């Protein structure tokens, strides 16, 4: 992050997955006029930036992450005039608009690909990655993220094209200068149209080893193996820097890279100021890995390590949720008896760490995972592939469905629950994905009326960012509580000191004497409904924020 970008420290970003946000015309699919209708709601919440998941023309194999027209709006979502109206409405309210940008791959229905696949000699022949068959087969054994081989044969060329994601998402060939120029021109066009930032999708894979060596990793149940060392190759960093020099730097736009980085050092390589790549990074971790490996201690350790890596010259995107993960209250909290306290604890956890908080739609009312009744009820191609791989490896259909219910990305993609009616106020038609039946109990309308709701807790937290300079600007030190489930830290800026305590468990835990010395009244507590912090024991999922008098 450069000095001109200091403003990103004061942002609170709200991610919108437009398909599931609000449907304005009753076709069951959320759209841009729907987002516009709810802009007052976002203003009431207090966020000052929106990240829109892709709204470009797309056949929706991966819900817009497969783009067939980068300078067009998806018909189901509305028109370019709707987008212009949304931009203006955001800017009138001081809300920055961040667009998702998918340039590792396009859709196979993009005119570039249609031309590229038509023959070997066409002008766009090199826009994608084509290889000859080897012994009549795919060029290597690489697996695609969404199942099967990463190669697809096209008879017209007698060649295979490479797709790291689905076969409807062919990878763009970044080694082709002409392609890179087209991508930069398109990005410049959006930036000149008034976009304030880009969240750049799956950006770690731009550069491929041109010889495509076979992978020696163990095969997945369908026989293919994930590539080794594809993420974060030096060539990828060079392309990102080129993109930065060409598009971002001259325009002061905010950039967030979605990166795959096995270590915190590699993550930092995308963000360190001197590297001139991105302002912030969103690390991608597969949902099942996270479900299996997370713990409160690990959340704290990751926060600490990333803080240390970028303390001197970088900045952090902080998030617990997005459209690729299960719902945070179901994953890290408790969606049963401690639903409300744990949703508030997670909010406090996120907003009190150094960095820019990213809220994913519905998180601010504590939306939970959903258990859809059959695999057919799931829409996500990733969920269907994992289910299939589990069956291949011998799982029973019931066990495979149970896994899908736990890890599916559709958990986060059910429509936003605006009210308690059966369709949650999302649409008057047939919603494209089932509304969570708990909309009766968990919805925006009910929470706006209840001053102690999760929604109002988020509002207070966001407002507090402006009142407490230590929240956006303070340093960080974790405190030793002697208990892994009780995570505590201190933030300090100037003469302001904040103390944060989060009890990530269903047991009470006592704050060790001494740690609270000098602490004044609690500013916020996840037990505000019960009269707030009463200590020194923290009740199940109790979290509290103090401003110290010293």
Q: Which residues bind ligand GLC (CB under 6 A)?
A: 62, 65, 102, 165, 201-202, 258, 284, 323-324
- Contact stretch for Ca ion (CB under 5 A) within 28-36, 334-342, 481-489, 521-529: 28-36
Query: What are the residues whose beta carbons fall under 8 Å from the beta carbon of 211, sequence distance 6 or more?
Result: none
For residue 119, the 8-state DSSP code is: -
Minimum distance, C-beta of residue 537 to ligand GLC, in the bound complex (Å): 40
Nearest residue to ligand GLC, by Cβ distance, number only: 65
Q: What is the spatial distance between Cα 468 and Cα 545, in angstroms, rounded to a whole number?
A: 12
Minimum distance, C-beta of residue 408 to ligand GLC, in the bound complex (Å): 12
Does 31 engage in binding with Ca ion (CB under 5 A)? yes
- Contact stretch for Ca ion (CB under 5 A) within 20-28, 129-137, 187-195, 242-250: 20-28
Which of these, 11, 22, 17, 5, lies nearest to 443 by C-alpha position?
22
Interaction partner, residue 31 (ligand GLC, Ca ion, none; CB < 5-8 Å by kind): Ca ion
Strands ordered across the beta sheet of 151-154: 130-131, 159-162, 151-154
Does 23 engage in binding with Ca ion (CB under 5 A)? yes
Q: What is the spatial distance between Cα 351 and Cα 316, in angstroms, rounded to a whole number?
A: 12
| Half-sphere CA count of 184, side-chain side, radius 13 A | 20
The residue among 324 and 542 lying less far from ligand GLC, judged by its C-beta, is 324
Asked whether the beta carbons of 228 and 140 are under 8 A apart, the reply is no
The residue among 165 and 455 lying less far from ligand GLC, judged by its C-beta, is 165
Q: What is the spatial distance between Cα 490 and Cα 210, in angstroms, rounded to a whole number?
A: 48
Interaction partner, residue 162 (ligand GLC, Ca ion, none; CB < 5-8 Å by kind): none
The residue among 146 and 457 lying less far from ligand GLC, judged by its C-beta, is 146
Q: What is the spatial distance between Cα 281 and Cα 259, in angstroms, rounded to a whole number?
A: 6
Interaction partner, residue 284 (ligand GLC, Ca ion, none; CB < 5-8 Å by kind): ligand GLC
Minimum distance, C-beta of residue 44 to ligand GLC, in the bound complex (Å): 27
Q: What is the spatial distance between Cα 168 and Cα 62, in angstroms, rounded to a whole number?
A: 9
Active site residue 258: yes
Q: Which residue has the tokens 């003469």?
A: 495
The residue among 65 and 541 lying less far from ligand GLC, judged by its C-beta, is 65
Interaction partner, residue 29 (Ca ion, ligand GLC, none; CB < 5-8 Å by kind): Ca ion
Beta bridge partners of 380: none
The residue among 56 and 541 lying less far from ligand GLC, judged by its C-beta, is 56
Q: What is the spatial distance between Cα 321 and Cα 332, in angstroms, rounded to a whole number?
A: 10
Interaction partner, residue 201 (ligand GLC, Ca ion, none; CB < 5-8 Å by kind): ligand GLC
Does 27 engage in binding with Ca ion (CB under 5 A)? yes
Which of 9, 25, 496, 548 is close enough to bind Ca ion by CB under 5 A? 25
The residue among 172 and 464 lying less far from ligand GLC, judged by its C-beta, is 172
Interaction partner, residue 277 (Ca ion, ligand GLC, none; CB < 5-8 Å by kind): none
Nearest residue to Ca ion, by Cβ distance, number only: 31
User: Which of the residues 31, 108, 258, 528 is marked catalytic?
Assistant: 258
Active site residue 290: no
Which of these, 239, 258, 245, 102, lies nearest to 175 by C-alpha position?
239
Minimum distance, C-beta of residue 174 to ligand GLC, in the bound complex (Å): 15
Read out DSSP for 76-89? GG--HHHHHHHHHH
Minimum distance, C-beta of residue 341 to ligand GLC, in the bound complex (Å): 30
DSSP reduced 3-state for 502 = strand
Q: Which long-range contacts (CB under 8 A, 24 or more apart) does 533-536 make?
A: 535/511, 536/510, 536/511
Q: What is the spatial distance between Cα 454 and Cα 348, in angstroms, rounded to a whole number?
A: 11
Distances (CA, A) of 143 to 226, 336, 485: 5, 38, 38
Helix, strand and coil percent figures for the chain, each rounded to 5: 35, 20, 45
The residue among 67 and 309 lying less far from ligand GLC, judged by its C-beta, is 67
The residue among 359 and 538 lying less far from ligand GLC, judged by its C-beta, is 359
Angle among Cα 331, 334, 337 to the nearest 5 degrees reads 160
Interaction partner, residue 270 (Ca ion, ligand GLC, none; CB < 5-8 Å by kind): none
The residue among 102 and 470 lying less far from ligand GLC, judged by its C-beta, is 102
Indicate the angle between helix axes 177-192 and 234-243, nearest 10 degrees.
40
Q: Which residue has the tokens 């249609």?
A: 114
Interaction partner, residue 25 (Ca ion, ligand GLC, none; CB < 5-8 Å by kind): Ca ion
Q: What is the spatial distance between Cα 320 and Cα 455, in angstroms, rounded to a whole number?
A: 16
User: Which of the residues 23, 108, 201, 382 is marked catalytic?
Assistant: 201
Minimum distance, C-beta of residue 21 to ligand GLC, in the bound complex (Å): 16
Q: What is the spatial distance between Cα 213 and Cα 141, in angstroms, rounded to a whole number?
A: 9
Does 29 engage in binding with Ca ion (CB under 5 A)? yes
Minimum distance, C-beta of residue 284 to ligand GLC, in the bound complex (Å): 5
Minimum distance, C-beta of residue 367 to ligand GLC, in the bound complex (Å): 18
Minimum distance, C-beta of residue 286 to ligand GLC, in the bound complex (Å): 10
Q: Site residues (CB under 5 A) for Ca ion?
A: 23, 25, 27, 29, 31
Residues labelled catalytic: 201, 258
């Amino acid at each position: 992050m450069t000095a001109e970008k200091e403003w990103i420290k004061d942002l609170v970003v709200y991610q919108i997955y437009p398909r599931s946000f609000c449907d304005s015309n009753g076709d069951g699919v959320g759209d841009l006029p729907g987002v516009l209708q709810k802009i007052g709601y976002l203003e009431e919440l207090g966020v000052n930036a929106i990240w829109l998941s892709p709204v470009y023309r797309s056949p929706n194999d991966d819900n817009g992450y497969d783009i067939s027209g980068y300078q067009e709006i998806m018909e189901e979502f509305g028109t370019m005039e709707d987008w212009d109206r949304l931009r203006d409405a955001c800017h009138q309210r001081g809300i920055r608009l961040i667009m998702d940008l998918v340039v590792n791959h396009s859709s196979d229905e993009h005119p570039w690909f249609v031309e590229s696949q038509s023959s070997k000699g066409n002008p766009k022949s090199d826009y994608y990655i084509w290889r000859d068959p080897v012994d009549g087969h795919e060029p290597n054994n690489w697996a695609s993220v969404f199942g099967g081989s990463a190669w697809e044969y096209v008879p017209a060329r007698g060649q295979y094209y490479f797709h790291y994601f689905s076969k409807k998402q062919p990878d763009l060939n970044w080694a082709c200068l002409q392609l890179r120029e087209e991508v930069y021109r398109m990005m410049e066009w959006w930036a000149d149209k008034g976009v304030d930032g880009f969240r750049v999708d799956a950006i770690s894979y731009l550069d491929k080893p041109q010889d495509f060596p076979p992978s020696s990793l163990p095969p997945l149940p369908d026989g293919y193996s994930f590539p080794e060392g594809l993420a974060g190759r030096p060539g990828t960093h060079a392309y990102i820097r080129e993109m930065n020099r060409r598009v971002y730097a001259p325009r002061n736009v905010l950039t967030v890279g979605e990166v795959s980085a096995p270590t915190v050092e590699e993550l930092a390589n995308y963000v360190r100021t001197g590297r001139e790549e991105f302002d912030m990074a969103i690390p991608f971790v597969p949902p099942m890995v996270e479900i299996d490996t997370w713990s409160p201690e690990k959340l704290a350790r990751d926060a600490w390590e990333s803080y240390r890596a970028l303390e001197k010259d970088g900045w952090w995107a902080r998030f617990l949720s997005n459209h690729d993960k299960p719902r945070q209250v179901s994953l890290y909290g408790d969606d049963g008896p401690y639903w409300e306290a744990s949703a508030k604890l997670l909010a406090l956890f996120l907003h009190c760490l150094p960095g820019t908080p990213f809220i994913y739609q519905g998180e601010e009312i504590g939306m939970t995972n959903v258990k859809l009744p059959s695999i057919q009820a799931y829409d996500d191609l990733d969920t269907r592939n994992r289910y299939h791989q589990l069956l291949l490896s011998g799982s029973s259909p019931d066990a495979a469905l149970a896994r899908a219910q736990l890890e599916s990305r559709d958990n986060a993609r059910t429509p936003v629950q605006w009210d308690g009616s059966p369709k949650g106020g999302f649409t008057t038609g047939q919603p494209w994905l089932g509304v969570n039946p708990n909309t009766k109990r968990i919805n925006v309308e009910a929470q706006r009326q209840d001053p102690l709701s999760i929604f109002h807790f988020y509002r207070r937290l966001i407002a507090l960012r402006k009142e407490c300079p230590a929240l956006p600007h303070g340093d960080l030190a974790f405190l030793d509580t002697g208990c892994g489930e009780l995570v505590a830290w201190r933030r300090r800026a100037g003469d302001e000191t904040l103390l944060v305590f989060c009890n990530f468990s269903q047991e009470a835990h006592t704050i060790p004497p001494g740690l609270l010395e000098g602490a004044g009244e609690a500013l916020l507590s996840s037990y505000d409904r019960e009269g707030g912090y009463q200590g020194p024991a923290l009740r199940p999922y109790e979290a509290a924020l103090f401003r110290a008098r010293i």
